[in-house]
Amino acid sequence: MTETRQEIRTHVGSNAGIHFNELVRESDFAPGQVQYHVRRLLENDRLVREEFYGRTHYYPPAYDEWERAALALFRRETAREIVVYLLEHESAAPADIADTLEIARSTLEYHVDRLVDHEIVTKRYDERNRVALALADPTATGRLLTTVTPTVPDRLVDRFTRLVDEVLSGTSDTR
């Protein structure tokens, strides 16, 4: 394996769930070089590629499907904050999470739907048909959560989405 390819593989190993643009930004290689070596790593089963919500993410082969989805979602700041909240509170009503995180309910639902789709969060209904959210596997979730931090571009996208939601819902804070 070439030194360049090994460097890319090591970087993906340290940043499981990294997406292509981030990989290019964090390396000393041109996009074409990264693309070439990533393709070779994929062909030799040294990397795994998954697409989640319009973004292609790369992982070492050791991660299973659930872990890959979780890591991709944790790269989104809002999804990560929801998961952290549920780690701290075990179970919570959506309104409580939205209020604490100061996000619109639509933003919360957007992220919760994806977290539920990938079996990271569960939705339960009580006898009065009220929703409670909880983590499906808090131990595995906590372990994976420590391995990823949202990037600046991911944070900017999430913050822009929050701003648009606030403006559209008329709850923008005019401090």
Instruction: Supply the pLDDT for residue 166.
Output: 62
Instruction: Supply the pLDDT for residue 97.
Output: 97
Residue 60's closest CA among 112, 102, 16?
16
Instruction: Supply the pLDDT for residue 126.
Output: 82
Residue 52's closest CA among 73, 31, 36?
73
Sign of CA dihedral 73, 78, 82, 88: positive
Q: What are phi and psi of 60, to 5 degrees?
A: -70, 155
Rounded Cα distance between 39 and 43, Å, is 6
Length of the chain counted residue by residue: 175
Tens of pLDDT along the chain (175 residues) come to: 799 999 999 999 999 999 898 899 999 899 999 999 999 999 999 999 999 988 899 999 999 999 999 999 998 889 999 999 999 998 999 999 999 999 999 999 999 999 999 999 999 998 889 999 999 999 999 999 988 865 544 545 555 555 666 666 665 444 3
Helix/strand/coil (H/E/C) assignment for every residue in 95-132: HHHHHHHCCCHHHHHHHHHHHHHCCCEEEEECCCCCEE
Instruction: Supply the pLDDT for residue 67.
Output: 96
Predicted TM-score (pTM) of the model is 0.79
Q: What are phi and psi of 57, to 5 degrees?
A: -120, 150
Instruction: Supply the pLDDT for residue 155.
Output: 47
